[in-house]
Amino acid sequence: MLNRGKCIENICVFCSSSDFLDEIYYKDAKELGRLMGQNGYNIVYGGSTLGMMWACASEVKNNGGKIYGVMPQRLVDMGCRTDNCDEFFLAQGMRDRKQKMDDISDAVIVLAGGFGTLEEFAEMFVQKQLGYNKKAIVLLNTNGFYDKLLEFFNDVVEQKFANKFAKDLIYVASTPKEAIDYINNYQEPEKSPSKFEIYSR
């Protein structure tokens, strides 16, 4: 049996900090932020005014949501921090940053991004796989950006490096609306995964 569990209020968004992408990526980031704000969600993100990160966060705030920024000291020293956050959390390093973002968020949406985004996504994915969290994890596949990654996931399962249940732990959305619809209707699993679901083939 499933139940919603605690109410989802804060959504952690992982995505690119690049300002040099095709416009379609910023468009989806802005649309996601708009829908998050209109649906009563706040954003937990990296705390800068860069790339897709700020495209999404600024629209959350423009549409009634709050911005919670989390940034390590090194990036603050580089001048990456924005003063537009409703609350800003300083982390000592990237591991501390991810921990804080995890602690204050109720769900995760992953947009297109580079190596940092993949690392953040992978950690949340594995935590859910092992039962350390039960959060909704959505992969927003703008412009087919993650098609090859999803093919790789299929290979991982087919070659028995991971259990077939693992792929069910994330939801792949094609549009921002689909991502938010999934979050709105997410049912948190009542039980953590069993040893069978983690290790059997």
Give me the pLDDT at residue 201, please.
65
Give me the pLDDT at residue 199, please.
80
Q: Which of 12, 19, 8 is nearest to 68 (CA)?
A: 12
Give me the pLDDT at residue 23, please.
98
Q: For tokens 């209707």, what's the residue?
A: 185
Element (H, E) at 52: helix 51-62
Angle (nearest 5°) at CA 95 between 33 and 184: 30
Handedness of CA 180, 148, 120, 85 (dihedral sign): negative
The three-state secondary structure class of 111 is coil
Instruction: List the structure tokens of 171.
Output: 């939801």
Contact 139, 168 (CB under 8 A): no
What is the CATH class of 10-199? alpha beta
Contact 11, 36 (CB under 8 A): yes
Q: Which residues contact 90 (CB under 8 A, 6 or more apart)?
A: 71, 72, 73, 76
- Each residue's pLDDT, cut to its tens digit, for the chain (201 residues) gives 233 335 899 999 999 999 999 999 999 999 999 999 999 999 999 999 999 999 999 999 999 999 999 999 999 999 999 999 999 999 999 999 999 999 999 999 999 999 999 999 999 999 999 999 999 999 999 999 999 999 999 999 999 999 888 989 999 999 999 999 999 999 988 888 888 777 866
How far apart CA 91 and CA 75 sit, in angstroms, is: 10
Q: For tokens 């139940």, what's the residue?
A: 3
